[in-house]
Structure 1
C-alpha cells in the first residue's frame, strides 16, 4: 500500500499548467494554505501573481504534492520526473486515457509513476479543509474545519455539488478517484480515514474494483468508530446475462451491490441529500445507531406525518413505557394523549424546565429521539420563542447520553448558520422529514459480521447448461431431494416402472421450459403425449404433493463480488412477484434466516392467518448446500432451483438448472 500522507497533507505544492494552475493557486490562497505553492511553466514569469520556475529541476525543494494540469502526453514525462526526484504524489488532471479507449497510455502512466502515488488520471484532485491544502482547479463550497467527514467520489461534479451544501456538515477532505489507474478506492479511503481528525466517510461509487479490500476497509473503519455511507451508481443496468436464468434476472442490476454494502457494514443511500444527513449522524454519534426511536412534536399533524413516513421508510416508533407515561403525565396533564410519536401540544411552550423534563423523560426510554421543530425564518420573523425548545433538545441529549436530533420538516427551515452552530454543540440538525428518516434508517445499518470477506472473483467463463436430468442428479448427490423420475431420449423410452401418477413431463434442453411450452402436468400415460419441438430428450417425474409454498433458490458467480445467493418466492411467477433477497457469499445460517424475513411475502411462509408453516429450515439447508457446491467446484457458474417446493416438513427441488464450464 502506497503512502498517501504527503499528497493528502502536503507542506509544499507544485502546480503545472497555466489556467488550471492559476485556479489551484487561487484556491490555496483563499483557504489559507501556509506552505509554499510553486507554479512551474517553461515560458511564463508568473501565474496567479506567484513567480514561476521554468522546470521541476528549478524547484527550491522536492514538493510533497503536485497538480499536473498539462495534456496527457506531456503528463507522462512529468510523472516520470516527479517519481525520479522523490515527490510525495501527484494529481493527473488530463483526460483521454482508458476512458477514451487508450488503455496503453494509461498503463504507461502507471509505469512512469513507479512507487509514487498518483490520483487519476482524469481526476479533479484533493481538497484538505483541515490544513487548507487544495490541489483543486475549480470552485467548491467548503470551509476550514478542525474535524469532519471525508468525501471520496468517482464523479467530480457530484462531489463539487456536495461541497455546496448548507446543512452544517463539516467536511474535512474531498478527493476524486478519476480512472483510479494506480490508487484505488480502498487505498484512498484508508488513507483519509487514518487521519484522526476524520470522523466518517461518504462515497459516491460507480464501481468497486477490489471487493475483499473494500470489506476489510469498512471493518477497520468501524473498529475505530468511523462509519461509511455510500451512493452506488449504475444499479439499474441489467446484468449481461440476465436472460440466462431467473436468478440472473432477479439478482441483476443493483441487488449484488446493495447486498455487498450491507454485509460489509456500509450504509447505502440513494441521494446526495440522504448522504449528507447520514454523514451528519455518523460524524456526531459514530456507527451503531439504535433502532428504538421516539418522535416528539408540538403538533398532531407533524406527529401523524412522522408516523406515516416512518412506515414507508421502515423506521419504528415503539410504544412508551409505563414509567415514561407517568413522568410525562405529571408534566403534560390529562389533555395530552401519550403516544409515540408524541404530540406534546403547546401547554409547556416556552417553559424550559418543563420542556426539558418532557424531552428527557421520553428520550430516556429509547436509543435516539427525533424532535420535530421548524424555527421561523430569521429574515422575516422572530425565532426567539423557539429557543427554549431547542435548548431542551440539547439538554435531553446531555442528560440521557442518547442522540437527540432536531428535525426540520423542510430543509430550508434550518438556515446554515443555525445548522453549523447546532453541529458544534453536538446536536445534529436533520433537514426534511423523509430525508431525515431515511438517513436514520441508513445510520442503523452500519454494522457487519466481523471478519467477513466476499469470495475472490473467478475469471470469466464460457459456461454450458446441463439439462434438467443432469442438474438434478448433481443436486441430489449434494443432498437436496428431487422427485422420483425417469429420463429418455424419446417419449416412447419413458418407462415409469414403480412410479405413481400423476406425472410431470418435461422437455430437456430449455433454460425456461414453461415459456417454451416444454412442461405438461397431470400426465397419466407419457406414451400418449405428443413430441415437444426442440426437446433434446424427456424427463418424467412424479408430481410433488403436500406443498405449502414455492420458492426460488439460486447461487451464481459474480464478476465483482465473487458469488451471490438469491432466494425468495418462486415458481412460474418468480419474476412477476420479484420478491427475492440477494446475499453475497459466504453467508451463515443465521444470515439466511434473517434475509428470509425481509421478503414482502414472508408471512406466507410463516403460517399466514392460520395456514400451514413451510419448512424454512429445509430451505436454509438447501441454500447452504448450493453455497458448498459453488465453493467446492470451481467449474460451476450457476445453480438454480425453481421451484423448490416447501412442505410442512422437508423440501423437494422440482426444477433445476446448472451452468458450468465444460
Structure 2
C-alpha cells in the first residue's frame, strides 16, 4: 500500500528538527504566511526566530502533519522512526550521505535501507532533499529562498534536482505554480508517486516532471493512466540525452537507439509530453494551464510586421504547426477592414495602418479569431518600462483582450524575446484568459507540445512489457540458432545449411539452389571482418571463398540468395536499463549507420503503431515503390516485425538484445537475411530454451 501524502502536502502542523537549516524553513514559513502550528525542536536553543523551541520530539504538543528533518544522517533515521511510531503525517529528509554517496562513502546504501524501514508506513521525501512548497495554501517546507507567490490554481512541478526546482521558482514568466516538490533520493516515494498524489488536488491544472531517471516503471505507468483519467496533461524533461553508458557490444541497434531514444519512446507511449529545455518546459506548462491541450494544429499568427510574420513562418518550419489559410468570408472581411495595401495571408502582417485605433483593431482581431483556428497567436513585444513608455502599446493589449471576450477563441500572445513581456502585462492577459508565451522559439515549441498533448489517445495503452535486470552475462546465439528461434514465431528466413569445415561445407551445400551467400560464423559484425561473400554461383567458388575465411571463422553458414529485394530494413530490440524493451526500425544493410534513419517504439507495439513508424522512415519511399519500381508488401513487412516482437514477449525474462539486419522487403514477402540474439547467460545455464 502506497503512503498517503495528503497530510504532508497540505499540513496544519509542522515540526522542525535541526539548527541552521530548520531556522531557514521557519523563516520561509513566516514569510509565506503559513497559519498553522510551527514547532521547532532543539535541545539547546530557547527559540528560533521568536518561536519557542521544544526540547525533544517526546515533548511535542501534538502529532505533526509534516516535519522537516535537518539533522545528520544517523540522527535522521532516529527521528523518522519516532515520528512514524507516533503517527506523523510525513517528513522531508534533508541530510545527504545516503545512497547518492555510496561510491565515495561506504555504508550509504545500508543507511538508506534503514531509513526506509524506520519510516514504515509514514511517507518521507528524500533523503538528500530540499522538501516541498505549496503555494496554494502558503506552506513552504523549504530551507532556502524561492521566487513563487500564492496562487488559487496552477501547475505542480516534481523535480529530481532541488537546485533546478529552486531555479524554476525564480521564473518571471507569469507561470502560476501550485506545488514544487523535490524528490531527492526517492528512497521510499518516487517522482511518479509524488506526482500521482498531486493529481488529487483539483486546483492543479497540469503536472511538470524534471527527471534524471524513471524509477519504478509500473508506478510511472499508473501515474500516466491516472493523469489521462483526470484530463491533466503531463510535461517532462528527461535529462541524460548524451549518456554514453550504452555501448554497442553486439548490434547496430544498440548504437543507434541509446537511452535518450528509449526514454523518448517510453514517454510518448505513456502520453507524457517531452520537451528539451527548462524554458520550453515552463512555457508549455503555462500554455496548458491557460488553454489546455490544443484540439488541432491549425494556428493563425498575427503581427504588425512582415519581419515577425516571416520569422514566425521560418521558425515553425518542420514543426507540427499548420498555418491554414483564411476562409473566403473571413478573407473578404479582413480585406475590407485592412484595405488594398495589406495582403491577407497566414501568418498575417496587418501593418500599422490601424495602430492606435483600438475599436478598429478589435474588429480586425475579432474577425481573425472568429474562424475555427485551434489557436490564434499575436506577436507582441512591449517596450521596457524602465527606459521607455509602453503606453502606446495599450491599444494592442486592450484590442486583443476585447476580441478574446467577444469570440471565446483560444488566444495567445507571443513575445519574440522573453524579456519583452513584463509580469504585469502577463497577468493582465492571463486574467483575461489569454495565454502568454515568451521567446519565439520557445513559444513555437510550447505550441507544438500543446498540439501533441491534444493528440494523446484518451484510452490506456496496453501494459508495457517489462523485465527485471539480467542475472548474468550475455550469451550470443549463432546466426543459425537465432534464425531458428525466430522462424518458430513466423519470421521467414532463407534456406540454409551450416558446416564447421570447408570440406563439410561443399557436401552440405549440394542441395541448395545457387547463387548462394557464404558467411563465416563466430563474429558478430561479419561484413566488417570480411566474412561475407555474395552471389556465389557454384561449389568451386564456394570452397574458394571459404578457404579465404577459415583462419578467422569458427564455422560456415550458406544460404540461398534472396533476390528481388526492394528495401533493406533493420529491426532491433534492446532491453533498456528501465526493463522496458525498445523496438528500433530503420534503414538496414549497408545504409544502417550511413543514414541513421530510425524510429523507435516501446513494446508491446500494435500493428497500427508499427505501420505508422515505418511510414516515418526516409526509406519508406523505397517501400512504397520508387521511380517505377513495385511496392513492397506492407502487410508482410509488418507481419515480420510482429513475429520478432512476439518472440521478445515470449522470452522477455532472458532476452537482452536482438537484431534482424537486414530484413529484405519484397513484393510478396519479407525475409530475414541476418539475425542475432543475445540472452541472459544465467537463464541459459538453467536450461531455458531460446
Same fold (TM over 0.5): yes
Of residues 538-547 and 580-589 in structure 1, the stretch that sits farther from structure 2 once superposed is 538-547
State the match for 1:330 in structure 2. 336
The aligned residue for residue 450 of structure 1 is 459
How far has the Cα of 1:448 moved from its partner? 4.1
Identify which of 99, 124, 133 aligns with 2:130: 124
Q: Does the 8 Å CA contact 1:264/1:449 hold for their aligned counterparts? A: no
CA contact (8 A) 2:492 2:640 kept: no
Identify if the C-alpha distance between structure 1 residues 535 and 325 changes in structure 2 by more than 3 Å, giving closer, same or farther. same
**Superposition pairs of residues 336-485 of structure 1, within 5 angstroms:** 336-363=342-369, 364-446=371-453, 447-448=456-457, 450-452=459-461, 453-461=463-471, 462-485=473-496
Q: Is the Cα contact below 8 Å between 2:236 and 2:281 reproduced in 1?
A: yes
Q: How many residues are paired up?
A: 662
Residues 541-597 of structure 1: CA deviation (Å, up to 9, x unaligned): 222222221110012333314212110111123123221111111121111222223
Could you say which residue in structure 1 is the equivalent of 2:112? 106
Of 375-384 and 76-85, deviating more is: 375-384
Structure 2 residue 637 is the aligned partner of structure 1 residue 619:
yes
Of 440-449 and 466-475, more deviation after overlay is shown by 440-449
C-alpha deviation, 1:149, in angstroms: 0.7
Does the aligned pair in 2 maintain the 1:226–1:282 contact within 8 Å? Answer: no
Deviations 1:445-469 (A, max 9, x none): 2214622231232331433111111
Pairing 1:489-568 to 2, within 5 Å after superposition: 489-494=500-505, 495-524=508-537, 525-529=541-545, 530-532=547-549, 533-568=551-586
Question: More deviation in 518-527 or 70-79?
Answer: 518-527
The 8 Å contact of residues 228 and 458 in structure 2, kept in 1 or not, is answered as no
User: Matches of 1:492 and 1:391 in 2, distance apart?
Assistant: 90
CA contact (8 A) 2:468 2:579 kept: no
1:400 is displaced (CA, Å) by 4.0
**Counterpart in the other structure of 1:588:** 606
**Comparing 187-196 with 329-338, which one deviates more in the overlay?**
329-338
Could you tell me how far apart the structure 1 residues matched to 2:629 and 2:336 are? 46
Work out the CA distance in 2 between the residues paired with 1:82 and 1:145: 31
What aligned pairs does 1:572-587 form with structure 2 within 5 A after superposition?
Answer: 572-587=590-605
Change in Cα spacing, 1:515 to 1:449, as seen in structure 2 (3 Å) is farther
CA contact (8 A) 1:239 1:249 kept: no
1:77: how far off?
Answer: 0.9
The aligned counterpart of 2:184 is: 178
**TM-score normalised per structure 2:** 0.92
Whether the 8 Å contact between 1:458 and 1:559 is mirrored in structure 2 is: no
Residue pair 1:167, 1:420 contacting (<8 A) in 2 also: no
**Unaligned runs of at least 5 residues, structure 1:** none
Q: For each residue in 1:227-259, what CA deviation from the matched residue of structure 2 results, as whole angstroms up to 9, or x when unmatched? A: 110110112213444222111221113001000
Equivalent position of 2:74 in the other structure = 73
Matched, 1:644 2:663: yes
Look up the SS of the partner of 1:573 in the other structure.
Answer: helix
Instruction: Answer yes or no: is the 8 Å Cα contact 2:284–2:446 preserved in 1.
Output: yes
SS at match of 1:445: helix
- Note the 1:160-239 alignment, pairs <5 A: 160-239=166-245
Residue 21 of structure 1 corresponds to 22
Question: Using the alignment, how far apart are the partners of 1:571 and 1:268 within structure 2?
Answer: 31
Q: Distance in 2 between matches of 1:589 and 1:305?
A: 40
Specify whether residues 196 and 297 from structure 1 end up closer, same or farther in structure 2 by C-alpha distance, changes over 3 A only.
Answer: same
Residues 351, 614 of structure 1: alpha-carbon distance in 2 compared, 3 angstrom cutoff: farther
Structure 2 residue ranges without an equivalent (≥5): 103-107, 685-690
CA-based RMSD: 1.8
After superposition, give the CA deviation of every residue in 1:465-496 in whole Å (9 maximum; x if it has no partner): 11111212222232222223222112332343
TM-superposed CA distance for 1:612, in Å, is 3.9
- CA, structure 1 residues 605+64, in 2 after alignment: closer, same or farther (shift >3 Å)? same
Range with greater deviation from structure 2 (635-644 or 9-18):
635-644
379-388 vs 400-409, greater mean Cα deviation? 379-388
1:428-460 Cα shifts (integer Å, max 9, x gaps): 110111111111111222214622231232331
Q: CA deviation at 1:116?
A: 0.7
TM-aligned CA distance change 1:357 to 1:544, over 3 Å:
farther
Quickly say closer, same or farther: Cα 1:46–1:71, change in 2 above 3 A. Answer: same
Could you report, residue by residue, the CA deviation over 1:307-334 in whole angstroms, capped at 9, with x for unpaired residues? 1110144433233333332232222233
1:599 aligns with 2:605: no
- Cα-to-partner distance string for 1:41-64 (whole Å, 9 max, x where unaligned): 001101122110101121211111
C-alpha spacing 1:267/1:396, structure 2 compared with 1 (3 Å): farther
Contact 2:246 2:255 in 1 (8 A): no
Cα deviation 1:23-44 (Å, max 9, x = unaligned): 1010011111011211100011
What is the match of residue 159 of structure 1? 165
Does structure 1 residue 251 correspond to structure 2 residue 236?
no
- SS of residue matched to 1:303: helix
